A and B are shown apart, each in its own frame.
Chain A
C-alpha cells in the first residue's frame, strides 16, 4: 500500500499498466515492483523446479524472484527484473513459468514430489528404458524448464555500442563513489561516474539519514549536480558496469529507451578504457534460511526500507523484522515513523539493542512461515519455546555481502573477514582498480565517504595528479554489529537459492555424496546458477557446506564470479549486426551497372560479384552461363576482376622480397613482363597464387586471390618487418585504388585497339607482358594475362574511372558479338583449362599435389621451401590434381564426391580422393571435373568411380589431364 507523505515519486501523475492482463496504476519514478506492491500484489512468479509462489525479494538488480516478461509480440522481453523495470505508460507485464495461470499452476504439483526431486536426482534416473530418455523424459524436462519465452521472431529494436575513455572510472554513485568522483574531478582527472540506478545516491536513496545536515538523498543529488556541471566529468545513470577486462577495459550497459515506446536505441553497450578505476559498488543484503522462507511477503529488510522511503510503499500492513544485525532495526524504525504497524524485531542476538519505538525480541529465530500464495504468519523460537504470530510481511536481514563481483573477473578470489562475516575484495585483484565503501566492507556512511576520498586520492596520484584537500561531510558512523546466522535449524525445507529451488538439505546431501568442493556442490545442486549468479544465496550456501564438511568458510572458498555482473541482452552486445550489418560490404566500381543488368550477386569474401547476366528468354542460369562462356571462346567477354588483391611493391630490394615469398624466381623477370607465382606458408603448404608484373626496375604489382588478399598483405608485412627488416622495400595494398577488368577472347585485341586508339601487336604485347596505356586521357595499366585460356588482357585504371571504363568496354564487346561474363562462366572457363581457385588451394594441398612441384626453385630459399620437402608432403601416394571425364551412362559429376577404384568396397580404407570443381563444359559438350586422386597423374586413362553418398550417385569416370581445353596453350599466346 502507498503511504501518504512518503517517497520521492511524482504522485500527481498516473501511469496505467497491466500485470497478467489486470489494469493497475502507478507513478513516474515507480518500478514495476513498487507499483505492484502499492496494489498489494505479492505473488509475481513461480520458482524454477517446484513452481512455488514467488514474491518480490529485493529492490535491485540481484532480484531472483520477480522475473517477468515486459511487452508483447516481437517486443516481448523475458526475464526482466520487476525491481529494475521503470514504469512507463501502457506497460504490459506478464508473469512467467506457470501454466495456465500464475494463481493456478499445474506444475506446482512438483512441490508435492519434492522428496524425489532432491539434488542431482536426474543423474540417477531417466535411463530406463534407454530410448525413453530422448523420447519421453527429456522432452518433458525441456517443456517444464526455462523461465520466460523469447518471441521467436526478429528482435525489432535496435541497440548501440560505443567506446569511452577516461582517466578515472568510478563505479557506483553511492556515498563512496560520489566522493571519489568529486576528488578525482577536482584533481583535474577526466572522470566517468556510472551507476546502475535511476538516481544517484546508491543505498542513500533508500535511507532516512542525514549528511552534512541535509537529507542524505538530497546531499547526493546536490553533489551529483555539481559534478555534472564540471567539464571533465561524465555522469552515466542507468549504467551497469558489467565486466572488468585487461588493461583497464570495462564493459558497461546503459539502458536508454528501456521499455518505453518510441524511437531510439533500447540499450548501449560501452567499452570503457579507464586508466584507473574506483569500485564503489556497495553491498547486497542476504536473507536467512529457515523453513518455508520463500513465501511472497518475505523480503530483505533493506528492500522494505527502500520501498517505503523511496517509493512510499509499504509491502505489508503488519510487518515483522527478523535479523541478526543492527542495520535491520532501521527498517522497523522507518516503518513506525511512517505509521506502519511493526509487530516486533526478532533478533537472533541475545544482546540486540532495544528500542523505545518497537518491540525487540532477543534471541529469537524464525523457524517457519505460513500462508498459501503469500505470507499470513510466522513461527519463531526463543529459549521459552515457539510462538506463531500473524504478519503479512517479514523483513529479513542476514547481514550484507560486499559487491565484490567485478574484482573477481580476472581470477582474484575474495578474502573472508570474520569480523563482518563477509567476503571483501582481494587488494589489487584488478590492476588499476581501488575499492571503496561498502563493497570493501566499510558499512557506515561516514566510512564510505572517507574511503571514497582515499581511493580516488590513490587513483589520481597514480596518474601523477595532485589530490586536492576534500572536507569529509558529516555522516553517520554506525556500522552495526552482526552475529553469524545462515540457516535456522529445524525440519522442513529452508531455501537458499529461491529461483532454482535449492534448499539447505540439498547442500547437505551434496556434501554427503562427496560433492564437497564448493564448485561440485554448486554444479550438483545448481545452487548459485540462477539469474542472480548466486548473489542472494552463495555465501549462505557455502557457510552451510563449510559446516557440513567440518571446514571453515575461508578453506571452503567461493565459486568464481564471472562477467557479466548482471545479465546483458545479446541484442546490445551484438548491436549493429542484424541483417547486412554483420560484415562490411565491398562493392566494385561496376556494381551499380551490374545490378542494373539483373545479375544475381554472390559474396566473394566481403565483396560482391555477379553470378551471371540473365538475358530475355533464358530460364536457367546454365543457359546464361553457357552463352557467356561462348562470348570468351568465340568473341570477347568482359569481367570485373577488381576484387583480386593488388599489392604495390617498390624499392631496390623489391625483387629480393618476391624471391623470398614466391616459390619461383622473380628477380629474373624483365621489366614489362608478368609471371605466375605460387606462394607457400612456412609449413610448406600452398597459401595463394597469382600473377606479379614488373612495371619498372624497382616496381612490381602483385595480384592475389580475392579471399587471400588480406592474408597475403599481412604476410608481406611480416617478411619485410620481421624476417628481413634489412630489405629496402615498401609494400602497400592498392586493391581499392585500381579498377581492373578482364577482356578475353579472340576479339579482345581489336576491342582494346579501338578503345585505346593504338595497335597492340603480338610482338609489342606478347603473352605475359604488361605496360602503361592511355585510356581516354587517363593513364592505366594493361596486362596480357589469361584466366580463361583465350587471348586475354586485364586493363586497370584508377578506381574513379572504373565505372565509365566498364561501360565503354561492355558497349564495345556487345557490338562485337560478345558481352559480360559472370562468376559461373569464369569458373567454367578456368576448369576447362585446369586453372586453380580456393577449391583446389584449400590450405591442405602442396605444390607437389598440384603438379607444380617443379615451380619450387632450386636456386634459392623461399618461405615454406624447407618444410615442403618433408617426406609426407612429397609422398608419391598423396592425392594429386587430375581431370575427370564421365564415361558411363551417368554423366553427372559432383564437387565433394569421393573416388574409389572399380570393384572396391566403399569404406574409408579404399577412399582414394575427392572431386573439387565440376561444371558442364559447353566447349566440350560434356561434364568435366577437377579432383585430387592418389598417384593421380600416373593414372591417366584409368577408370574410377565417383561416389556421392549424399545423393546416392555413382558416376564412372576416366582420369584425364586436368587441362581439358587447348592443352598446348596456343590460344592464350595468339
Chain B
C-alpha cells in the first residue's frame, strides 16, 4: 500500500477499515542468502539497501525482541554531518545526503527536519578547533558557519549569555543538521525492506554462529537453525556478545548513555544546541518535549538504565546554559547500551571469518548514521568491497595505528568517548 494524503482521506471517509500490515510476520525459512543479525535501525537499513540497491531479496533480518527496539528507538534523534577527521567526515556526509531524500525514498515520513545544529564554544582554544572542524566540513562539501558571540546571541537569545560560568564565545552552526523521528526511521526501513521481500523475523534470538572451514554457514536461533551464505552483524550495544559467538574479541566496551525528555511545551527551542563545556545537547520535538542528553554513565554496563550522577550533571548543565528551562519537568529518562570503541568511531568492515561482516562500534553516533550505515554495509556485503564513504571505518586501525578517528582526543579508553 502506498501512503499519501489521498489514501488518508479515502480511509478516513470509509471508517479506516482498509489499512493493512506495514510488514509481514513470516516464519523463518531454513536458508537465506544473507542474514542480518539485529533488527535495529542499521540492520533494517542494511536489508533495505541490499534489496533496493543490489536487488538481493533472499534475506532475513533476525531480531531477538521487536524491530526498532534498541537504540534507534531510544536516542536524542540528532542528525548531523559535522565531523572533523577523515573517515567520519565523508561517512557522515554520505549519510546526511541519504537522509535528505529518505521520507520520499521510503514513502514513510521520517520527519527529517533540518533545524540546524549549533555547537557552542567557550574559549579561544575551542574556537580554533571549531574553525578547524568547520573547514573540514566545508572542504568535505557540507555546510558550516562559525558564529561569533553576537551571532549566537541573535540566534539563541534564551541562553545565559551574560552570567555563565563558561561564557559563550560563539558557535559552530551546521544548518543542514537537525533531527528526525526515531521510530519512524526503523519502521520506514522495515516496511521498505518487507515490501521488497525481506523476511523480518522478530522474537528470534541468535544463539550461535555456525562456522565451517573458516567460513560462516548459518546461525542457531531460538526459532531453530537457519543456514546462510553471508551474515552481517548489526547488533550495536551487544556487538561484543554476538561477535564472541564467532570467536571474535572486539575493541569494544559497552556503556550506558542516558537520554531525557520533558513534558510537552509550546515551541521554545528551534535548533539543536550543544554545550561543549557541560556535555549537554538539546532540541525540541515536534510534539513539544525537550529532548536532551549528555555524557555516558562512564562505566561498562548492559543494564539499559542509568544512575543519578550523570542525570543530575546533565540537568545542571542545562540550567547553566539555558536557565529558562528550570520549570520544564523531566517526564522520562532512559538508558541505551553503547558500543564504545577506543577512538570513539565506528567499524564497518570484513571480519576475520569468511562471510561474516561487522557493523559495530557506533558509540553514541549511531542514529544519524542509520541510512549511511545501512547503505555502505549493504554495499560491503553485496559486493565484497568497502563502499568509498566507509572505507576508513576499518577494524584493524587500532592494531596498526593508521587512520584512527579520535575526534575528542581522549585516547584508547573506551568509556571516555
Contacts and interface: CB of A to CB of B under 8 A. Distances in A.
Interface of A: 48, 76-79, 113, 115-116, 118, 121-128, 130, 133-134, 138, 141-143, 145-155, 157, 159, 161, 243, 245-246, 249, 251, 269, 271, 409-411, 505, 509, 512-517, 519-520, 523-524, 526, 531, 533, 560, 562-564, 567-571, 573-583, 585, 602-603, 681-685, 687, 838-839, 842-844, 867, 870-873, 875, 894-898, 906-908, 911, 914-917, 947-950
B392 to A, nearest CB: 11
Given A839-B125, A872-B401, A906-B139, 7 more contacts: A113-B12, A115-B12, A123-B109, A127-B104, A243-B308, A569-B330, A896-B127
B140 A896 contact: no
A774 to B, nearest CB: 38
B21 A603 contact: no
Interface stretch (B156-164, B218-226, B229-237, B345-353): B156-164
Nearest to A161: B312
Nearest to B194: A514
A147 B288 contact: yes
Contacts of A124: 3-4, 7-8, 108-109
Given A125-B3, A146-B266, A249 B307 contact: yes
Q: Which of B68, B158, B327 has the most CB of A within 10 A?
A: B327
B8 A514 contact: no
Given A681-B411, A908-B89, A116 B312 contact: no
B288 A574 contact: no
A871 B399 CA distance: 9
A418 to B, nearest CB: 24
Q: Which of B69, B264, B303, B332 has the most CB of A within 10 A?
A: B264
Contacts of A602: 123-124
A574 to B, nearest CB: 3
Given A133-B109, A570-B318, A895 B131 contact: yes
Nearest to B165: A582
Contacts of B334: 560, 562
Contacts of B73: 519, 523
A708 to B, nearest CB: 12
29 contacts: A79-B263, A79-B329, A123-B108, A123-B188, A124-B108, A124-B109, A128-B5, A138-B113, A146-B267, A149-B268, A154-B160, A155-B319, A159-B326, A410-B303, A519-B69, A520-B66, A560-B334, A567-B331, A570-B319, A570-B328, A577-B315, A580-B165, A582-B166, A682-B412, A875-B401, A896-B131, A896-B133, A908-B139, A911-B86
Given A571-B319, A908-B140, A950-B146, A146 B69 contact: no
B111 interface: yes
A949 B330 contact: no
Contacts of B9: 116
B31 interface: no
Please provide the 10 A-B residue pairs with the shortest distance between their CB atoms, ordered closest to farther. Answer: A843-B409, A155-B326, A872-B401, A896-B131, A146-B288, A571-B326, A870-B401, A574-B315, A582-B320, A872-B402
A843 B307 contact: no
A141 B287 CA distance: 8
A870 B409 contact: no
A25 B400 CA distance: 76
Contacts of B160: 154, 578-579
B360 interface: no
B108 A844 contact: no
A271 B308 CA distance: 8
Contacts of A78: 263, 265, 327-328
Given A517-B66, A571-B326, A682-B412, A562 B333 contact: yes
A822 B146 CA distance: 27
A245 B307 contact: yes
B76 interface: no
Interface string B58-74: 00000001101100010
Nearest to B101: A130
Contact of B134 (A509, A844, A950): A950
A205 B97 CA distance: 60
A378 B98 CA distance: 54
Contact of B266 (A149, A603, A842): A149
Given A155-B326, A512-B20, A579-B164, A146 B265 contact: yes
Contact of A562 (B20, B122, B312, B332): B332
Interface string B290-320: 0000000000000111011001100111111
Contact of B316 (A149, A533, A582, A872): A582
Q: Which of A533, A570, A684 has the most CB of B within 10 A?
A: A570
Interface of B: 3-5, 7-9, 11-13, 15-16, 19-25, 65-66, 68-69, 73, 86, 89-90, 101, 103-104, 107-109, 111-114, 122-125, 127-136, 138-140, 144-146, 158, 160, 163-167, 181, 183-184, 187-188, 202, 262-268, 277-278, 284, 286-288, 303-305, 307-308, 311-312, 315-320, 323-334, 342, 397, 399-404, 406, 408-412
Given A128-B5, A872-B403, A570 B135 contact: no
Contact of A141 (B19, B125, B286): B286
Nearest to A911: B139
A428 B145 CA distance: 54
Contacts of B4: 124-125, 127-128
Given A520-B66, A582-B317, A603 B332 contact: no
A576 B327 CA distance: 14
Contacts of A516: 25
Contacts of B15: 115
Contact of A531 (B202, B312, B331): B331
A451 to B, nearest CB: 27
Given A134-B113, A146-B288, A582-B278, A152 B324 contact: yes
Contacts of B331: 531, 533, 564, 567
Contact of B318 (A154, A526, A574, A685): A574
Contacts of A143: 267
Contact of A411 (B135, B305, B324): B305
Contacts of B127: 895-896
Contact of B330 (A159, A567, A580, A683): A567
Given A116-B9, A127-B104, A151-B324, A895 B128 contact: yes
A953 to B, nearest CB: 10
Given A124-B109, A870-B401, A570 B329 contact: yes
Q: Which of A145, A411, A585 has the most CB of B within 10 A?
A: A145
Nearest to B14: A115
Contact of B409 (A574, A844, A908): A844
A146 B265 CA distance: 4
A542 to B, nearest CB: 14
Nearest to A611: B124
A523 B90 contact: no
Contact of A570 (B315, B402, B410): B315
Contact of B327 (A121, A531, A571): A571
A581 B267 CA distance: 27
A894 B131 contact: yes
A523 B319 contact: no
Contact of A505 (B16, B20, B402): B16
Contacts of A582: 164-166, 278, 316-317, 319-320
B15 to A, nearest CB: 8
A569 B328 contact: yes
Contacts of B128: 839, 895-896, 916-917
B143 to A, nearest CB: 10
Contact of A123 (B68, B139, B184, B342): B184
A222 B311 CA distance: 39
Contacts of B101: 130
B86 A908 contact: yes
B328 A150 contact: yes
A580 B131 CA distance: 27
B214 to A, nearest CB: 26
Nearest to B202: A517
A906 B158 CA distance: 38
